[in-house]
Structure 1
Amino acid sequence: MTEPNRGSNPFDDMEAVVLEEHEDDPVVEELTGLIDALSEDEQIDLVSLTWLGRDDYSAADWAMVREEAARAHNERTASYLLGVPQLGDFLEEGLSMLGYSCEDFEIGRL
């Protein structure tokens, strides 16, 4: 979604417009659908990776982190994850801590 005639350019506002929330955002809808389509175990793993990647735990804590995520699991996983500002970074770091990279999970390489 864009705002016509903002009177500014992306450089001036540091491209902050990409951080604005808009009703019916297709990216949010697509990510929500993707996360909601995951099994409960996959959602728990995604939350666990997020928590692991934010440096609250070490790789050795994986089982404990996953147990905590399982206890906290509810029907709002997508909303929770999309509210994490550095979600992509946390997921990447969590994978790295477990010895994986994002490239290991590219479509067609699974």
Structure 2
Amino acid sequence: MAKRPERDAAEDPVELVVDPETVCFLIVKAREFDVKVDPEDTDSGSNPSDDGDIDVLEDRRDDPTYAELMGTLEALNEDELSDLVAMTWIGRGDYDAEDWEEAKEQARQRGVKGTAEYLLGTPLLGDFLESGFNDLGYSCEDIEEAHL
């Protein structure tokens, strides 16, 4: 599919089923999750401050960031999850913002079973979500400013 020009900033954003604040939360948490690395020193036993708190960047089974992401995704309904999948695909360049309805339909057809795992298994999920979110006419900075 040929690339179309990006949405004009003056255009109204597309209508989302998923709450834009939830998308911003997921972007932040997905970025935190994306920076995780495999544990290097599994038995360090030292004080976190002695290690410079770098263990927080290690990917562990009991990772609270993963639990927050999974909990948030599992609480969403089918339409909200379809929005997130379609938004990720737009951010990744699989679809253009003008193809929003088509991307959502493909996401719906994909089904919701395993969607949370699918999204969390997507490398650079936070970046793709933010890019798709922006392409659809939204900005986390604007949403934050609206609540100040």
- The CA deviation at 1:21 is 3.5
Equivalent residue number for residue 66 of structure 1: 104
- The CA deviation at 1:75 is 2.1
CA distance in 2, matches of 1:95, 1:101: 7
CA distance in 1, matches of 2:85, 2:109: 11
Equivalent residue number for residue 96 of structure 1: 134
Deviations 1:33-52 (A, max 9, x none): 10000111111101110001
CA distance in 2, matches of 1:105, 1:49: 17
Equivalent residue number for residue 81 of structure 2: 43
- The CA deviation at 1:105 is 4.3
TM-score (norm 1): 0.76
Runs (4+) off by over 6 Å: none
Deviations 1:4-39 (A, max 9, x none): 17xxx88xxxx7x83x54212211111101000011
- The CA deviation at 1:102 is 1.9
Letter in 2 for 1:58: D
Equivalent residue number for residue 82 of structure 1: 120
Deviations 1:68-98 (A, max 9, x none): 0000022211111111111010011001111
CA distance in 2, matches of 1:103, 1:39: 25
When the two chains are superposed, the root-mean-square deviation of aligned CA atoms in Å is 2.6
Q: Specify which structure has the bigger relative contact order, considering alpha-carbon pairs within 8 angstroms and separated by 6 or more residues.
A: 2
Letter in 1 for 2:94: D
State percent identity of aligned pairs: 49
Letter in 2 for 1:92: E
